[in-house]
């Protein structure tokens, strides 16, 4: 299959109109308070991290954490990654990128709690694919190989999962006859790892109240376009534009660096860039912490659609909130981990 057509950004589209007229209204992006806050989130009494965070009890947590016992500090954590829109073009490159991005999202969600080590991470993979249709089996194989390759590079492993490989049905047409309705291929990664101390973690809500700085770590290997993004969805161009991808080496270095920052108490808050892009991630942190933010973009993003790509592109990335007094120590540690 040919590569996807380029995404066409309407002339005159502003950041504000992109946000308020579409992106923030998507169910995949908007607040999940309507679904989450009405239910019990502390069953067993062992829950060390539930969905809701911050003074407004905003359902925004990146991971779940459960203690091993009522008086125990050790426990386990789990986080989920899925990026179905990235594979919608259906070409092999997009399907492989979708699989790698699902792994990356699971890890960029799990990274905010101190686990034993990166190589202690295991995962379940849930495949949903119309694999019996012509051409779909090879695409699923390519995606599985891409997932396996990046897991080997990261030093993590998959030890279970399930599949639904009959994701197609014959649907009768009003004019007679029938057609095949096919579900897009998708992979959901559920990552989990042991946690030595369930207290060593951060949540996304901003906390420093004017005495902090936000740092962004880009893990997209220079592939921060708008393909497969929430913005492409509201523009009615899902499946157009090249999907972003992830730099496995950078992801591994950033994961280990973030774990060291957590262990040193150098992070006040943290969040991942995912559905909606960098701007939505920062807004979520601000909403949850009842805080305002001021963003300074790299001047290289100012030309053409660069600002929209920087703010709404969904390549993997991490956002740190750091106290200004801790900035020198944070920069030193990041430099020691390869400048991630």
Burial letters 281-317, b for 16+ CB under 10 A, else e:
bbebbbbbbebeeeeeeeeebeeebbebbbbbbbbbb
- The pLDDT confidence band at residue 9, using thresholds 50, 70 and 90, is confident
Let me know if residue 8 belongs to a domain. no
Alpha carbon 172 to chain centroid distance?
38
For residue 264, what are the domain limits?
15-336
Alpha carbon 14 to chain centroid distance?
24
Name the range with the highest mean pLDDT among 4-8, 9-13, 32-36, 317-321.
317-321
Name the residue with higher pLDDT: 92 or 305: 92
Q: pLDDT tens across 237-291, in order?
A: 988 887 899 999 999 999 999 999 999 999 999 999 989 999 999 999 999 999 9
Q: pLDDT tens across 97-137, in order?
A: 999 999 999 999 999 999 999 999 999 999 999 999 999 99
Alpha carbon 112 to chain centroid distance?
13
Would you give the DSSP letter of residue 2?
A: P
CATH number of 236's domain? 3.30.1330.10
Q: How many CB atoms lie within 10 A of CB 250?
A: 19
Q: How many CB atoms lie within 10 A of CB 168?
A: 16
What is the total count of domains within the chain? 1
Tokens of 299: 């001047």
Q: pLDDT tens across 149-158, in order?
A: 999 999 999 9
Let me know if residue 4 belongs to a domain. no
State the chain's mean pLDDT as an integer.
93
Let me know if residue 117 belongs to a domain. yes
Q: pLDDT tens across 36-92, in order?
A: 999 999 999 999 999 999 999 999 999 999 999 999 999 999 999 999 999 988 888
Helix 136-154 to helix 248-263 angle (10° resolution) is 40
145 vs 18: CA distance, rounded Å: 36
Dihedral in degrees, nearest 10, Cα atoms 47, 52, 53, 59: 150
229 vs 244: CA distance, rounded Å: 9
287 vs 273: CA distance, rounded Å: 16
Let me know if residue 37 belongs to a domain. yes
State residue 296's pLDDT score. 84
């Amino acid at each position: 299959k040919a590569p996807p057509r380029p995404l066409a950004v309407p002339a005159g589209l502003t950041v504000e109109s992109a946000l308020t007229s579409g992106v923030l209204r998507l169910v995949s992006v908007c607040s999940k308070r309507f679904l989450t806050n009405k239910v019990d989130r502390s069953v067993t009494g062992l829950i060390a991290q539930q969905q809701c965070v911050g003074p407004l009890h905003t359902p925004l947590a990146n991971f779940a954490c459960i203690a091993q016992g009522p008086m125990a500090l050790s426990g386990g954590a789990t986080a989920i990654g899925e990026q179905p829109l990235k594979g919608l073009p259906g070409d092999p490159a997009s399907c492989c990128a979708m699989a790698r991005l699902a792994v990356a999202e699971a890890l960029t969600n799990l990274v905010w709690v101190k686990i034993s080590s990166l190589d202690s991470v295991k995962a379940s993979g849930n495949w949903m694919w119309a694999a019996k249709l012509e051409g779909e089996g090879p695409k699923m194989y390519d995606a599985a190989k891409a997932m396996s390759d990046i897991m080997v590079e990261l030093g993590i492993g998959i030890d279970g999962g399930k599949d639904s490989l009959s994701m197609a049905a014959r649907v009768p047409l009003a004019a007679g006859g029938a057609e095949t309705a096919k579900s897009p291929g998708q992979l959901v990664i559920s990552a989990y790892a042991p946690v030595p101390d369930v207290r060593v973690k951060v949540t996304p809500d901003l906390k420093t109240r004017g005495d902090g700085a936000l740092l962004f770590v880009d893990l997209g290997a220079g592939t921060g376009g708008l393909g497969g993004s929430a913005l492409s969805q509201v523009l009615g161009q899902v499946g157009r534009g090249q999907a972003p991808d992830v730099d496995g080496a950078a992801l591994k270095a950033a994961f280990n660096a973030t774990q060291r920052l957590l262990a040193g108490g150098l992070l006040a808050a943290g969040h991942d860039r995912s559905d909606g892009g960098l701007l939505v991630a920062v807004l979520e942190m601000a909403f949850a912490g009842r805080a305002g933010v001021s963003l300074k973009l790299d001047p290289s993003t100012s030309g053409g659609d660069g600002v929209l790509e920087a703010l709404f592109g969904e390549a993997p990335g991490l956002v740190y909130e750091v106290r200004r007094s801790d900035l020198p120590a944070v920069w030193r540690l990041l430099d020691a981990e390869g400048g991630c």
